[in-house]
Each structure stands twice: as C-alpha cells, then as structure tokens.
Amino acid sequence: MMDNRVEGIVRPGADIEAQSFAIIEREVGQHGYDPLEWIVVRRIIHTTADFEYARITLFSSGVVERAREAFHGGSPIYVDTRMIAVGLSPWRLGWYGLRVEVPSDDLGIMEFARRHGITRSAAAFRMKAEKLNGSVVVVGNAPTALMEIVRAIEEGIAKPALVVGVPVGFVQASESKEMLIRNGMVPFVVTKGRKGGSTVAVAILHGLLECARLIDEKGL
C-alpha cells in the first residue's frame, strides 16, 4: 500500500500547502529576503493570510544559521505562552530532540509577580533568567516578558542563543520589539509594530526548524 504521508502531513494536506505557497509566491513577487529567511516569512503569511508580514518581519544577520546551531545543540525552547507550546509540531521538534519550557507555568510565579509589582509574564522570565543562556526564547504574547528578557541580557544575567520577539498588542508591543532591535546583543527575529502573536511565533519557529533541516539535508 502506498504511504499517503509527507513528513508529518497527509498527502492531501501537503498538496494544499504547496498550492498555498505558490499563491503566496505569486502575490508577493519580489522581496528583500534571502532564500532561507523567505521560508520563515512565507510560513508566517501562510499561517495568517496577512501579506504585511513580507514588509514587517526583520531578521538580524546570521540568525537562521544561529538557530540551526542551537537546534543541533539541543537548546531548550522557552516560550511565554502555553499556546505556543501546544502549537509546535512534535515531529518538527523531534528532528533535533528539542524540549519546550513554559516558565509562567511554574509554581510561585503569581506571588513573585505580586511581591515585585510586575506582570506574571515578566516575573516568569525574571525567575528563569539564568537558565536562558544558550536557549531559544520565543515571545508571542507578552511585551513585558520581552522587555524583561532584554533587561536580563543588558545586565549580563542571560544570553540566549536567539530571541523570537513577536508580542502582539497595543500597549508596549512595538516598544518591546524596538528594545530588542536596539539591544543588538543576541540574534533575533521580530515583527515590527503591533502585529504578532502566538500563532506567528509558532510559524517562525517552524520556519526556522525547516531551514535547519534543509541546510542539513541539502547544504543550502
């Protein structure tokens, strides 16, 4: 019997995805991304049906290769929401045997946040700051979490392998991303402005994993 699966997706689903990618390629046309960065941006557009991401997604130099190195090293992935953790494909994570941590799930976060007068998301990453060294950090929801991560980097407490900073919203979302860009001490992927979210964060991480896999298999 012929196998109807394509790397974690049944064949009809893979065919629809390929058609969607072709439509995206046609409608976007020329863009300024290199081939690997474009894999990530195309994945975001596929997830959101929002072509503005072809203008607002920003990569620091060499971040795709840095992500690949982190995956090969088995770096843990720290995320700001359980939605991101649930959204990540187990079979993609399985390529590199990666584990996902959600700091805000830890006991004692609420009391720590109350005592320090900060949000739960900021408290979660403040408590985990020293564990972020060499990790992949992904923020899709909480600007205060991203601001706390940048603060820890600037103070020399944490040095992640890379940061995906795409919090969504109207309060501090854009500002937190600009903080990460200005910091410039760690590789990053951001979506400038108010747009982002957990689904975008998942799409970016999936795209980075796919890039790493392509480099490994084809030497791109």
- The confidence score (pLDDT) of residue 14 equals 76
Summarize pLDDT for 80-95 with one digit per residue, the tens.
Answer: 999 999 999 999 999 9
Q: Which of 31, 46, 72, 116 is catalytic?
A: 46
Q: Would you call 46 a catalytic residue per the annotation?
A: yes
What is the SS3 assignment for the chain?
CCCCEECCEEHHHHHHHHHHHHHHHHHHCCCCCCHHHHHHHHHHHHHHCCCCHHHHEEECCCHHHHHHHHHHCCCCEEECCHHHHHHCCHHHHHCCCCCEECHHHCCCHHHHHHHHCCCHHHHHHHHCHHHHCCCEEEECCCHHHHHHHHHHHHCCCCCCCEEEECCCCCCCHHHHHHHHHHHCCCCEEEECCCCCCHHHHHHHHHHHHHHHHHHHHHCC
Q: Is the pLDDT of residue 190 over 50?
A: yes
Summarize pLDDT for 6-17 with one digit per residue, the tens.
Answer: 566 655 667 888
Domains of the chain by range and CATH?
A: 31-218 (3.40.50.10230)
